[in-house]
Structure 1
Amino acid sequence: MDNHASEPASFWTQANALLRKNLTFQKRNAKTNVRLIMFPFVLCLLLLLLQKLVDNQLDKDKYKCGCTCTKSEDGQCLEKVCGAQYSDLDQVGACAVPNPPEWPPVQQVPAPNYRAVSADFISESDLPNPSCRSNGSCPITMLFTGNNQSFGQILYRNMIPSNFTMNTSNVMASLATDLLGSASKTENTNFLESAFFSGLPVYYLQKQCTENSTFSFPLQIESYSIQQEVTCAQVLPLWRNSPSEVNNELYKGYRKGNSERQINEIAAGYDFLNSNHNIYNVSIWYNSTYKNDTGFDPIALARVPRSINLVSNAYLQFLMGPNTKLLFEFVKEMPKPETKIKFDLASLLGGLFFTWVVLQLFPVVLTSLVYEKQQKLRIMMKMHGLSDGPYWMISYGYFLALSVIYMLCFVLFGSGIGLKFFTKNDYSIQFVFYFIYINLQISLAFLLASMFSNVKTATVTAYIGVFGTGLLGGFLFQFFVQDTSFPRGWIIVLELYPGFSLYRGLYEFSQSAFSGDKLETHGMRWGDLSDSTNGMKDVLIIMFVEWIFVLFFAYYIDQVFLSGSAKSPFFFLKGFQKKPLSSFRKPSLGKQGSKVFIQMDKPDVSQEREKVEQLLLEPTINQAIVCDNLKKVYPGRDGNPEKFAVRGLSLALPNGECFGMLGPNGAGKTSFINMMIGLTKPTSGTAFVQGLDIRTHMDGIYTSMGVCPQHDLLWETLTGREHLLFYGRLKNLKGSALTQAVEESLKSVNLFHGGVADKHAGKYSGGMKRRLSVAISLIGDPRVVYMDEPSTGLDPASRNNLWNVVRRAKQDRAIILTTHSMEEAEVLCDRLGIFVDGSLQCIGNPKELKARYGGTYVFTMTTTMDHEKDVESMVQQLYPAAKKVYHISGTQKFELPKEEVRIASVFRAVEIAKRNFTVSAWGLADTTLEDVFIKVAHDAQAFEKLS
C-alpha cells in the first residue's frame, strides 16, 4: 500500500479529522438526537396543555367577580350588579376597584422584640438596655447625621409629635397631623392596608409616652367600619457624627436570617447633609427587610413617603413656624379594572421540570465519553497521532454545540407556545445562565468520565443523578431557599453542587415570571440581580468559577492518571524545565537480578544486548526501534509477591524488518507492547522509537506509529471507509492522496467490493473487523507498526491475502508482530524472539532457530499399550542417545540426533517391528518451528522452577 504522508498532521488537520468523524457519527444517530430534542418539546406541550386546563377552570363563574341580580322577570335576570361586596374570597381578586379606599399614611417601624438595643456587636453606648425587650417597652430608634448638628437637632425635634390629637368627627384629617406606625408587612397592592388587618398593633409615635397611652377610634373606609386601637410608642432620636456610622449601625442590625438576638433594627436614618436656612438636601435610609421574592419593594411605595413627609414638614415648620403643616392626608391605590385571575403553571413548576430538561444533556455527554473509554477508542485515536489539544478542543466544542442547539430549541419552543417562564424574563439573562451552566455540565462530564469504565454503569448513575437532583431540589432545597431563617451562607454551600445551582437559577426565573404575570409587569431584569433576595447573581458567580475549576481539574486528571496519556503530576511545568541535549543516553548499567544474568549466557540474546549498547553510544543510528534493558514490574497485592512481567529486554530493529514475538500466555508479550505504545510506563530502562524516548516523547512517537490491537477497536456506526478516512487524516493525508490511500487499503484487505466498504463496522464479521484493523494500522505510512495476532479469526484465503499485505508493508517500516501461529511467524518474520516468563530466551531468523534448537529428527510410533516397551527398546537399540519427549495412550515421540540417524536403518527397524506387533502409525520428521517453540518454552519454565 503506497499511502505515504509527508509529515505529521498539524493541530488543525487533527482537529478537522476528529470534527468530520464526530459529524458523521452524529448523523448516524439522527433518531437519537430527534428523541432527545423532542423531550423538552413534549414537556413544554404538556405544560401548555395543563395550563389550558387551568385557564379553563379559572374562566368559570366560580373565579369571576361575584354579582347580584337587581332586576328580574319571569325568572330571568335582566340587570345585575357586580362588585367585591357580592364576592367570596375566590372571586374578589377579579373584581374591579374603580374607587380605591383612602388609608391613613403609616410609618414602618420594627416590632418590639426587634427594636435596637445595646449589644456586643454595636459599639455605640446610647442605645437602651436589652431588658426592655422583656416587657415590650423598647423605644423606636431613628438615627440622624449631617454637617450641622445643631440645625439637625432642630429638624428632628420638629419631626416627632409631642402629643396625640384625635378628632373623631374627621378621623382622616386628624390622623394626617399625627404619626402612625406599624411593623406589619405591606402587600403588593394597597387596596387593604395590612396595618389595620394584620392583627399586629398600630402605634402612634411620640417623643414621650404617658401612662394612659392606648386610644381607640372609629375608622370608616368606604363601606367598612373599623374600631381601631392604637398604642403609644416612644421615638428615640440619636445623633451620629457621620453617614458611615449610620450606615454601619443600620447594616449590623438588618434582618439577614440571623438569630432573633442579633436583629437590631433601626426604624429610619436621616442625613441632613449641607441643609441650612437656604438649602434643603436630605438623604433617607429605610428598612427594606420585607422585599418580596421578585425584588419588588411594597414598603418603599406605601410607607417610605411618610418618612419623606416627616422631614419635609419639619423643615417647613423651621422656616415658617410650628403652625405650618404640610399634610399627608392619605395613601390610595390606583384604580383597578376587572381582571381575570391568573395562575401560570409553567412558572410555578418550572424549577423542577426544567431542571430535568436541562440535566437530560448530562447523561448524553457522559455516556459518549465513557463509550470511547470503554471501547478504548480514545487510546486508539491517540496511538494513531491524535494529540490531546485537538481532542479536547473538538470534543468540548462538539458537546457545547449540541448543548447550545438543544437549549436554543428549548427556549425558542417554550417562547413560541407562550410559556411565561421564557417570555417574561430577560432573554440575555437566560442566555448567560444557560450558557454558563451547559459549560459547567460538559466540564463535569469530562471529569466524571474518568471515574467510569462501563457505559451501563455511567448511564444508570447519570440518570439517578438527573432525577434525584430535581426531586431533592423541589422537595428539600427549595424549602431552604424560601425559609428566611435558614442561614444564607449554607445556601451558598449547597449551591456548590451544580444541580442545586441550576435549580436555584430556574427557581428565580420561575418566581420572577410568576410574579410578573400576576402583577402584569416584567419578570427578571439585570437590575434585579443586585437585590439581596435574588439568588441569581450568586448562582452565576458560583457556576462560572466552578466551570473554570472543574474544566482545569478534568484536564489535569486526564493528563496525569488516564491510561494512554499518563504524565508527570507537574507536566504543566515542562516548559520551564531544561531540555536534554539528545534523545539517546548511555546504556543501562544498573543492577539486575541473578536470574537475568544467568539468562544472558545465551549467545544470541547476549549478542543482541551488546548490539543495543553499542548503538546507544553512537550519536546517529539507523534503527527504528531500540529497547534498552526494558523492565516492567507489577507491585504485589493481597499478600502476593511482585510480578516481573518484562525482565531487562534489549532489542534493536532496523527499518524494513518484521520481528515476531512468540511466547506462551502470560509470558509478558502484552506488557512489552503496552509499554511500547504508551499504555503503561516502564519500571526501569527505556526504548527509543525513531530516536524518541517512550518515557518522555510518546506524543511525537504517536505521529509515526500504527497499531493493530488484539481486540478490534472500532466505532460500530461508522463504515470501514469512514474509519480509514479518519485515521488517514490523522496521518496528514489529504485530498486525492487520502482517497487513493483509502481505496488501496480497502482493496488490499479485500473490503472494497460488494458494498462492504460502506457497511457499518458493527455489522462486519470478526474476520472483516480484523482486516479493517490491519488496514488502519498501515494507512498513512507509519514508520513503526505493532500487530497483535493480526490474523486471528481469518479463513485460510483471507489469512494468506493478509500475509501478502504485511509482506509488502514491511519493506520500508519496522513491524513487531505477536502471534500463536508458527506458520504465520515463519512466513512473515525476518527474525523471531521467543519470550518466556518476561525474558527473551532466544532470537534469530526461523532457519537459525530451527538449526540451533532442532538438531534432531522426531520419530513417532503408535501401538497398543501392551507393546510400548517394545517400541522403546527398539529405539534404544538403534540410537542409545534418543530421548523420549512425548508419551500418551500408546503414542510415543522420540528425538533422534541427526548426526547418528540413518533413515534406511529407521525404515528397516520399523519393518521388523511390524512383524512382531501391530503398528498403527509411525513417522519420521524434521524439527519444525513449533517444536523449537515448545522446546525453548519447556526448558525455560523448567529452569525457572529449579531456580
Structure 2
Amino acid sequence: MATAIRDVGVWRQTRTLLLKNYLIKCRTKKSSVQEILFPLFFLFWLILVSMMHPNKKYEEVSDIELSPMDKFSLSNVILGYTPVTNITSSIMQRVSTDHLPKVIVTEEYANEKELVAASLSKSSNFVGVVFKDTMSYELRFFPEMIPVSSIYMNSREGCSKTCDAAQYWSLGFTVLQASIDAAIIQLKTNVSVWSELESTKAVIMGEAAVVEIDTFPRGVILIYLVIAFSPFGYFLAIHIVAEKEKKLKEFLKIMGLHDTAFWLSWVLLYASLIFLMSLLMAVIATASSLFPQSSSIVIFLLFFLYGLSSVFFALMLTPLFKKSKHVGVVEFFVTVVFGFVGLLIVLIESFPRSLVWLFSPLCQCAFLIGIAQVMHLEDFNEGALFSNLTEGPYPLIITIIMLALDSVFYVLLAVYLDQVIPGEFGLRRSSLYFLKPSYWSKNKRNYKELSEGNINGNISLNEIVEPVSSEFIGKEAIRISGIQKSYRKKTENVEALRNLSFDIYEGQITALLGHSGTGKSTLMNILCGLCPPSDGFASIYGHRVSEIDEMFEARKMIGICPQSDINFDVLTVEENLSILASIKGIPANNIIQEVQKVLLDLDMQAIKDNQAKKLSGGQKRKLSVGIAVLGNPKILLLDEPTAGMDPCSRHIVWNLLKYRKANRVTVFSTHFMDEADILADRKAVISQGMLKCVGSSIFLKSKWGIGYRLSMYIDRYCATESLSSLVRQHIPAATLLQQNDQQLVYSLPFKDMDKFSGLFSALDIHSNLGVISYGVSMTTLEDVFLKLEVEAEIDQADYSVFTQQPREEETDSKSFDEMEQSLLILSETKASLVSTMSLWKQQVSTIAKFHFLSLKRESKSVRAVLLLLLIFFAVQIFMFFLHHSFKNAVVPIKLVPDLYFLKPGDKPHKYKTSLLLQNSTGEIRVSIPLTLPYCCLSPRKSGLELKQVRKQELIEFQS
C-alpha cells in the first residue's frame, strides 16, 4: 500500500551533522582546547630544541701536508704471519731485513687461529699478516693502532694532523702495507720499488666550509612532529566510538541518516581544523629556526596532508572497537609505534631504498620521510621549495602523493570495515557486498503480501489471536511470521524470541506486554533494524527488515523511542529536536514550527534551553518521545515510553499518541497494565519469547480472565458458611478467593452472568447473614497478565540489544534509600565499631578488595593495558639495543676502491668522490695536469702525492 515517505538529501544531513559536531566541540571545551594547544605546544618545543642544538658551521680548512712515509717506520713490533710457505717466507724476509729492519722479530704460524691466539697473549705491538694468496693479504692490528673500522667518523672539529684517517699513515699501517706490496712487486718483477715508495708523503686535503649535522635533535624533531597531530585522531576516534557506544549512530540511521553524511560531517569538520592548524604551524615553522629556508606552502602541504591522513587513520580504527576508552589509547599508541618505525627508516642510512616506499602506506612513515627530506634540503640547499620537489633520493613530491593516497585509502577502508564488521547494533553486509550488482542498482521491488494462512507459522493462532474487524482487513502494516532470535552466552544458546507470529495494523495502537526479559525490546530492535532475526520473516509495508537496503527505505517512515534515552548530552532540548528534525527530512521552513509544536504537545517549553544531560529521568523520556514523533512519522516504535514519568506527564503522552493514531501505526511496550488497557486497541502478551495472546482488552479478559469479582463487606456476626452456600446455590462455579474478618471475595465466571440478578436479590433478602454491602467488578488486565505468567518462569534473562540501564536519579535515590536503611539496621544491632588505626586498615583492605574485584571483572581491559605495556617495553628495549649496536659498531672494511671511489656514471653521494669520473679507463690511478690543483677534485678527502717528473697521481683515503 502507498505510504508517505520522507526523504532527505545527503548534503542537507551533512550540514546538519556539521552543526551538531560544531556545537559539541564548543561545549566540550577541554578536548577542543587540547586539540588546538597540543600541536602548538609541540611545535614551540621543537623550535626551542632546534635553537638549543644549532648546526655547527665550519670554515674552510687548508691542505695539511704530512711527513714522508720513511719518518713513520715501524719499530719494536712483533710481526707474525701465516701460512708459512716459501713465497710468504720470502716476502716477510724482505720486509724484515730490507724494508723494516727495526722490527724485533718475525714469527711464523701454521694457521690463522694460532696467529690470533698468539696476538691475544702478546703485547699490543703485535701485528699479524694473513696471506690469502701471493697477491692478497690481511693486516691484523690492535684497535689502538688504527682507526675504528666504521662508516661513522669523528666530526670535523677534531680533525687535524692526528685525524683518524691520518693514523693509517702515522701509526705504521701504510708503511707495512707499502713494504709488503714492494716485496710482492719485487718477487714478481725482480724490480725493487721500495726506495720510491718510502719517499712518498701524504696530504690531508683541505675542505670547503661545511655544516655539521647533529642527529639527536633531528630525531627529536621528527618523532614529535608525528605526535603533534595525534590529538586530532585521538579525540575523533573517541567521539565516534562514544556515539556508537551510546547507540547514537544507529539511532540516527533509524531516523534516515545516510552513512555518507555521517562520515562526511566528521571529515569536513576535522579537515577544516587541520587546515587552519597546519597553516598556522607552517607559518610559525618557516618564520622560526625550524625550517627557515623552506616555502611555507610546501611545509603547509606536508602538515595538512599528514594531519588529514592521521585523522583518517583514526577513522579506520573506529569500526574495530566497541569502547571509546580503548580506541583512544590504541590510536595514540599505534601512532607512536609507527612513528618510531619511520624514525628508524630515516636514521638508518643503509636501509634499502626499495623497502622505504614499502612503508609509505603508513602515513607516519611517509610523513617522516618527507620531513627528513626537508631537513636535508635545509642543510644542503635553499630549503624545501617548489623548484626542488622532485630532487633527491626521496623526492618530496612522492611523499605528498603518498600522503594523499593514504588519506583516500584510510577513508575507503573505514567505510568498508563499518559495513562488514559485526557490531553490537545494526545490520552488516557481506565481505564482498560491493561486488554484487544489487548494491549498485537500487531498483524498487514489489513484494508478495503474506496471507493469513502462511503468517501463522508452525502454530495455530486462531485460539490466541482475536480476529480484527472488517475495516482493518488489508491494513496490515507490520507482518511478523515465525520470528526467532537466539544469542550465544558462553556455552549455552539462549532463545529470546520463539516462533513469534502476528500482524500489526494501521490505525491502531498495539501494546506489547510481558515481564522483564520476555523479549519485547528484542522484537522492537528487530523491527527497527538494530539486530537481525535468527530465523523467520518480518516486513514493514512490504520492506523486509533483514535486508539493509529495504530497511533503509522502511526507516524513512519510522519514529523510534528506544528503551534507553537517546540524545546528545551537551545540546539543549530545542537543539536536539531541531537537529533531528533536519536529519528526518522535515522541510527547513517548517522545522521551527514543528519543534515548537512538539515542545507544546509534551509541555517542555520550560526546559527547552536546558542541556539534555541536566534533565531528570522523566524529562529525558519526554524528550525521547518528542524526537520519535517529530515529523509525524507513519510508524511509531516506543519501548517503555512513559517509564520514569510522573502521572501528569504520562497522561500528556497518552493524549498525544491517541491524537496521532489515525492512519498511523503505533507500537509500544509497557509494564503498566492500566496504560495498556486505556491506550492500546490491541495487546500482544509475550512470555519467555512466545506469543500468549493478541487482542483487545475484552478478548483478553474473556479468554484468559478469572471472571467477575464479587466483593462483600461483612460484620463480625457473619455466617460465612451459610453465605457461601447461598452464593453457590445461584452460581455453582463460584469460588472463594479471599476471606478475612471484614471482607469476602468470590470469583464468578463470565458464562453465569445471567444469574447475577437472582444472586443479588437473594443477598438483599437474606440480610441477616451479616452482609453490610457488596459489589461486582470485572477482571483487570493485570489479573489476566498475572494468570498468564503463572505458567512461565518469572526470572528469565533478557538478551535484548538495548538493555535498560537504571537512570541516574533512580539509582541515586535507590542507593540513598538503601544506605539509609542499612544505617538504621546497623544502629539497631548495636554492633561494636572499630576505630583509629584498625579502622584505617579495614578501610584500606576493603577498598583494595573492591578495586581487585573491579579489575577481575574488567579482565579484557586489564589484558589490553598489559599488552600495550608489553609492546611499549619491547619497542624501548629494541630501540636501546639498536642504538647500542650502532653506537659501538665496529665493522671490518676492506680498503678497496669501491669504498671510496664512484664508478663511471654514478652520482656523487655519501662519502664517495667523483675523482674517477675524470678518467675514462675506470682505474684507480688518475692522471691530471700539474697546473690543476688536486684539492678541487676531492675537496673532502686525503691523498698521496707521488713525486714524478711530469704528472701527479692521487690515491684517496677516507677522512
Q: Which residue of 2 aligns with 1:556?
A: 416
Conservation of the 8 A alpha-carbon contact between 1:370 and 1:453: yes
Measured in 1, the distance between the counterparts of 2:763 and 2:571 equals 61
Greater shift in the superposed pair: 183-192 or 924-933: 183-192
Name the CA shift for 1:808/1:188 in 2 (closer, same or farther; >3 Å): same
Measured in 1, the distance between the counterparts of 2:768 and 2:355 equals 100
SS at match of 2:627: helix
Name the CA shift for 1:199/1:710 in 2 (closer, same or farther; >3 Å): same
Greater shift in the superposed pair: 848-857 or 836-845: 848-857
After TM superposition, list the pairs within 5 Å mapping 1:153-232 onto structure 2: 197=166, 199=168, 211=187, 215-217=197-199, 219=201
Amino acid at match of 2:483: K
Name the CA shift for 1:187/1:396 in 2 (closer, same or farther; >3 Å): same
Amino acid at match of 1:582: N
Q: Which residue of 1 aligns with 2:850?
A: none
Conservation of the 8 A alpha-carbon contact between 2:255 and 2:583: yes
Amino acid at match of 2:418: D
After TM superposition, list the pairs within 5 Å mapping 1:750-899 onto structure 2: 750-753=603-606, 756-854=607-705, 856-859=707-710, 880-883=732-735, 894-898=746-750, 899=753
SS at match of 1:812: coil
Conservation of the 8 A alpha-carbon contact between 2:65 and 2:202: no
After TM superposition, list the pairs within 5 Å mapping 1:628-777 onto structure 2: 628-634=480-486, 637-641=489-493, 643=495, 645-654=497-506, 656-696=507-547, 697-753=550-606, 756-777=607-628
Report how far residue 881 of structure 1 moved: 1.9
1:584 is aligned, of 448, 456, 460, to: 448
After TM superposition, list the pairs within 5 Å mapping 1:216-615 onto structure 2: 216-217=198-199, 219=201, 333-334=207-208, 347-416=218-287, 418-420=288-290, 422-425=291-294, 427=296, 429-466=298-335, 473=340, 478-479=343-344, 481-484=346-349, 495=359, 498=362, 501-503=363-365, 505-506=367-368, 509-510=371-372, 512-513=374-375, 521-522=382-383, 527=388, 531-532=392-393, 534=394, 546-560=406-420, 561-562=422-423, 563-572=425-434, 573=436, 574-575=438-439, 581-585=445-449, 587=451, 596-597=458-459, 599-602=460-463, 604=465, 607=467
What RMSD in Å do the two structures reach over aligned CA positions?
4.9
Conservation of the 8 A alpha-carbon contact between 1:850 and 1:928: yes
Conservation of the 8 A alpha-carbon contact between 1:718 and 1:760: yes
Measured in 2, the distance between the counterparts of 1:488 and 1:887 equals 96
Amino acid at match of 2:321: F
Measured in 2, the distance between the counterparts of 1:910 and 1:432 equals 102
Measured in 1, the distance between the counterparts of 2:740 and 2:218 equals 83
Amino acid at match of 2:166: F
SS at match of 2:686: strand
After TM superposition, list the pairs within 5 Å mapping 1:108-119 onto structure 2: none
Name the CA shift for 1:431/1:883 in 2 (closer, same or farther; >3 Å): farther
Name the CA shift for 1:931/1:351 in 2 (closer, same or farther; >3 Å): same
Measured in 1, the distance between the counterparts of 2:317 and 2:306 equals 16
TM-score normalised by L of structure 2 = 0.62
Residue identity over aligned pairs, in percent, reads: 21
Aligned length: 695
Q: Which residue of 2 aligns with 1:22?
A: 21
Q: Does 1:10 align with 2:14?
A: no
Conservation of the 8 A alpha-carbon contact between 2:504 and 2:510: no
Conservation of the 8 A alpha-carbon contact between 2:282 and 2:297: no
Conservation of the 8 A alpha-carbon contact between 2:706 and 2:784: no
SS at match of 1:35: helix
Unaligned ranges ≥5, structure 2: 68-129, 138-148, 797-959
Amino acid at match of 1:743: Q
Conservation of the 8 A alpha-carbon contact between 2:366 and 2:403: no
SS at match of 1:810: coil
Conservation of the 8 A alpha-carbon contact between 1:505 and 1:536: no
Measured in 2, the distance between the counterparts of 1:35 and 1:635 equals 42
Conservation of the 8 A alpha-carbon contact between 1:51 and 1:344: no
Measured in 2, the distance between the counterparts of 1:458 and 1:185 equals 42
Conservation of the 8 A alpha-carbon contact between 2:483 and 2:538: no
CA shift digits 1:560-582 (9 cap, x unpaired): 33432423444321246795751
Measured in 2, the distance between the counterparts of 1:183 and 1:367 equals 48
Measured in 1, the distance between the counterparts of 2:28 and 2:156 equals 54
Report how far residue 912 of structure 1 moved: 6.7
Conservation of the 8 A alpha-carbon contact between 1:588 and 1:685: no
Conservation of the 8 A alpha-carbon contact between 2:510 and 2:667: yes
Conservation of the 8 A alpha-carbon contact between 2:642 and 2:653: yes
Measured in 2, the distance between the counterparts of 1:891 and 1:490 equals 93
Report how far residue 769 of structure 1 moved: 1.0
Measured in 1, the distance between the counterparts of 2:220 and 2:379 equals 15
Name the CA shift for 1:6/1:704 in 2 (closer, same or farther; >3 Å): closer
Report how far residue 887 of structure 1 moved: 9.4
CA shift digits 1:585-614 (9 cap, x unpaired): 555978998xx52x5241635x47x999x9
Q: Which residue of 2 aligns with 1:935?
A: 787
Amino acid at match of 2:278: M
Measured in 1, the distance between the counterparts of 2:601 and 2:743 equals 44
Report how far residue 770 of structure 1 moved: 0.9
Report how far residue 715 of structure 1 moved: 0.7
Conservation of the 8 A alpha-carbon contact between 1:351 and 1:504: no
CA shift digits 1:34-88 (9 cap, x unpaired): 3321112223333444555567xx9xxxxxxxxxxxxxxxxxxxxxxxxxxxxxx
Conservation of the 8 A alpha-carbon contact between 1:850 and 1:929: yes
SS at match of 1:835: strand
Name the CA shift for 1:33/1:210 in 2 (closer, same or farther; >3 Å): farther
Name the CA shift for 1:350/1:374 in 2 (closer, same or farther; >3 Å): same
Report how far residue 834 of structure 1 moved: 1.6
CA shift digits 1:712-740 (9 cap, x unpaired): 11111111111111111123223431111
Q: Which residue of 2 aligns with 1:266?
A: none
Unaligned ranges ≥5, structure 1: 59-92, 105-131, 140-181, 227-330, 616-620
CA shift digits 1:747-791 (9 cap, x unpaired): 1111113xx212211111111111111111111121111111111
Name the CA shift for 1:809/1:556 in 2 (closer, same or farther; >3 Å): same
Q: Which residue of 2 aligns with 1:265?
A: none
Greater shift in the superposed pair: 881-890 or 447-456: 881-890
Conservation of the 8 A alpha-carbon contact between 1:439 and 1:547: yes
Measured in 2, the distance between the counterparts of 1:683 and 1:890 equals 55
Measured in 2, the distance between the counterparts of 1:195 and 1:543 equals 43
Name the CA shift for 1:94/1:403 in 2 (closer, same or farther; >3 Å): closer
